[in-house]
Chains A and B, each alone.
Chain A
Amino acid sequence: MTAKATTEATWEQDVLQAEGPVLVDFWAAWCGPCRMVSPILDEIQSEHSEKLTVLKLNVDENPNLAMKYQITSIPAMKVFQGGEVKTTIIGAKPKFALEQDLAAFIG
């Protein structure tokens, strides 16, 4: 199971109202490091689908959310729980480093 996309239209339901933790990957097609980290996030989603939901938000198509969460550097990954940001990870990282950063949610 690869990570699905979310949008401004479905944000409330997908992310803010979600029951468990949701990792949102803020990305864009023109961002090289985003393309590198994308398949790693797919792997994390498929390996931990019971604990964590991974969603991808295209900042080009959803600029209002990028602005609302003050994104100035991508890839930016934020974990939401109960509608609040619990963790922010900025920049592409190897899988083992991401797993460490996400240990509180997938450990």
Chain B
Amino acid sequence: MRQVIIIGSGPAGFTAAIYAARANLQPLLIASSVEVGGELTKTTDVENFPGFPEGIQGPDLMVKLQEQAEKFGTEVVYDDVVSLELDGPVKKVVLGTGAEHEASAVIYATGSAYRKLGIEGEERLSGHGVSWCATCDGFFFREKAIAVVGGGDSAMEEATFLTRFASKVYVIHRKDTLRASKIMQERAFADPKIEFIWNSEVDEILGEFETTGVRLRSTVDGSTRELDLQGVFVAIGNDPRTHLVHDKLELTPEGTIWVDGRSSRTSQPGVFAAGDVIDPTYRQAATAAGSGVVAALDVEHFLAGLADAVPVAAAAN
């Protein structure tokens, strides 16, 4: 049996692994099979992670975090968790290949998943003009008109990135102000290819076999109109990935995993959570990394408590 298993391979998971490995806990990190490195592997320049004044590419940052975790003895497994047993003193983690692992403690750091628009045409045209990954798919929209839906940092980043390819980038936002940071807003406002469409939401994505346009609905007066374009990039936020634990751990009204105060302790003893999956507010690479530190230190403390408890229990017998 292991001391600790970490589930997730973003900044929270790998930072927890660095600390746990340096504390000699020989962590096993389940990285997933096709999403290793998490959200940051789909971004380009990361300019706000401390220690990189020139910026660093998201995928490069994740490779470095993994190297650092492995250097101190983290074992990384490229597989997906399909089920978990979290009650009782022995936690069980079952993987897609059927392999099972046991540990005294689990750090749950699965991050968040792209939120969908939930509108007509989205599912059908996904991969046919509707995309959630600008860095993967922007290339196919050379000299085409496209839209980015959303008003946060990731929407601004995608819009700015997509101007490398597209002839025109509409940013569709349901309000008339942006949630994005000032520097990202200014960059987007200054770009001649970007046009903002305020107070509008996408009602339907149009097209039979490929995207030909969107129907917009005004959030002010409810009027609708159609806009011709060939691509829609959805960047309206993320939802915490709790599907494996929603009936095992207490959640908050925001849908994140509940943790005790500023700690990483969940409602289940021996189960700790870190990163975007517990954070409804900040969701930054650096805050996720800090959250991973908290979880590793909490695990260390928890395991030390278990070790202390053994002789007491033995004495009682």
- A interface residues with partner B (beta carbon < 8 Å): 28, 30-34, 36-37, 40, 59-60, 66, 70-74, 76, 88, 90-96
Chain B, residues 84-118, CB within 8 Å of chain A (1/0): the string is 00000000000011000000000000000000000
Known: A28-B139, A40-B34. A94 touches B126 (CB 8 A): no
B123 to chain A, nearest CB (A): 12
A51 to B135, CA, bound (A): 34
Judge whether A66 and B80 touch: CB under 8 Å: no
Closest chain A residue, CB of each to CB of B80? A94
Closest 5 CB pairs of A and B: A90-B127, A92-B34, A73-B127, A32-B41, A94-B33
The one of B33, B131, B135, B139 in contact with A36, judged by C-beta atoms closer than 8 angstroms, is B33
Q: How many residues of B contact A (CB 8 A)?
A: 27
Q: Is the CB of B137 within 8 A of A72?
A: yes
Question: B239 in the interface, Cβ–Cβ < 8 Å?
Answer: no
B37-75 toward A: CB 8 Å interface, digit per residue (1/0)? Answer: 100011000000000000000010000000000000000
Contact pick for A32, options B59, B96, B141, CB 8 Å: B59
Is B136 interfacial (CB-CB < 8 Å)?
A: yes
Q: Are B135's CB and A30's CB within 8 A?
A: yes
Q: Once the chains are docked, how many angstroms separate the CA of A59 from the CA of B127?
A: 15
Which residues of A sit under 8 angstroms from B33, Cβ to Cβ?
36, 40, 94-95
Q: Please indicate the chain B residues that have their CB under 8 angstroms from the CB of A34 in the complex.
A: 136
The answer on a CB contact under 8 Å between B34 and A31 is no
Closest to B32 in A: A94
Closest CB-CB distance, A63 to chain B, in whole Å? Answer: 9
Whole-angstrom distance between the alpha carbons of A91 and B114 in the complex? 14
Q: Is B133 an interface residue (CB 8 A)?
A: yes
Q: Is A32's CB under 8 angstroms from B42's CB?
A: yes
Report chain B residues within 8 Å CB of A71. Answer: 140
**Which residue, A31, A32, A76, A91, has most C-beta atoms of chain B within 10 A?**
A32
- 24 sample A-B contacts, Cβ–Cβ < 8 Å, listed by A number: A30-B135, A30-B139, A32-B42, A32-B136, A33-B41, A33-B42, A34-B136, A36-B36, A37-B34, A66-B140, A70-B128, A72-B127, A73-B131, A73-B133, A74-B136, A74-B140, A76-B127, A88-B127, A92-B34, A93-B34, A94-B32, A94-B33, A95-B96, A96-B96
**Smallest Cβ distance from B278 to chain A, in angstroms?**
25
Tell me which residues across on chain A come within 8 A of B210, comparing CB atoms.
70, 72
A31 to B59, CA, bound (A): 10
Name A32's closest neighbour in chain B (CB-CB).
B41
Cβ contact within 8 Å between B37 and A32: yes
Say if the beta carbon of B129 comes within 8 Å of chain A.
Answer: yes
- Chain B residues with CB below 8 A from A31, complex form: 135-136
